[in-house]
Amino acid sequence: MNVAKQVKPKEILHEVVFYTYPNLVFTWPIILLGFLLWPIGGIERFSEVLAWFYGITLLLVLITMGVDLNRNYSIFWLVVVLGVWVLVLWLRDAKHFTIFGHIYRFFADLNPQYSRNLGLIVSIPLTILWMIMWFWTRLNSKWRITHNELEHYQFGRMDDSLARGAKRIRTTYPDLFELLICLAGDLEIYDATGKKLLRRIEHVPLLPFVKKKINLLLETTAVTPELLDEEATAAEIEPAPEEAETPAANEPPEDSGDETRDNTPTPPAG
């Protein structure tokens, strides 16, 4: 027995709402590590490994908050680091130059130990600040895109609205680390020609998913009861095409006006 599957119609998207955040949003890895490493932070054999892992994560977060490294710069510095590493190995084997080996042993001999108490001391205040930032962005950094306009809501200040018209929306990722940590980037609003930048919205987390919703919104037309009424009214007002009139078979042809008639009265017969 074949049962027909019911296909649900796609939900029509009428608006896209997203928020922008300050640089504090990128501290979530440090906050999370402070709580996750608490159970195993007291194990002595893991202490040094956890210390290096926590320190490297903290360094990456600080670089993300303080320096913008786009894709090209990141590739450049990666090539530089690899080149320096190869140079160090060559100097050690060919020239017996071991100054870099001494630097490595210096850091290795530091023998850092992870303190789970210190991790909590850092994570708890950052968690409070992060929550305050989250609520503040809901009041002051809300963006709403509809079929007709782009709106920016600011609590206690003048809201900003930009008519959408025939504008173009592009995404950019100025920092590779922001992309890795939060999938964050910038939204750029251009005019219809794509040359004049009207607005730049920075630090939008999960930007690929936000851009996907925006594309879906701009590719569809909002279907509203008002729109349906307008279309129905237009269909009623539009006159039907008139049929071509054909002359009857027994009706004499009309005078085209091209012939000349003699209107002189005929005199009576004598």
SS3 121: helix
Separation in Å, CA 90 to CA 43, 78, 80, 106, 130: 39, 18, 15, 20, 47
Phi, psi of 162 (to 5 degrees): -130, 120
Please state the φ and ψ torsions of residue 16, each to the nearest 5 degrees. Answer: -130, 125
Of 150, 185, 151, 144, residue with least CA distance to 167: 150
d(CA 171, CA 188): 6
Q: What is the pLDDT of residues 148-192, one digit of tens each?
A: 778 888 776 656 666 655 578 888 888 888 888 898 988 888 877
Per-residue confidence band for 57, with pLDDT thresholds at 50, 70 and 90: very high
**What does the block give as tokens for 21?**
């955040």
How sure is the predictor about 113, in pLDDT bands with cuts at 50, 70 and 90? confident
pTM as predicted: 0.65
Measured CA angle at 159 (ends 206, 211), to 5 deg = 20
Q: What distance in Å separates the CA atoms of residue 259 and residue 237, rounded to the nearest whole number? A: 44
In tens, the pLDDT along 114-149 reads 888 989 999 999 999 999 999 999 888 888 888 777
C-alpha torsion 129→131→137→143, nearest 10: 140
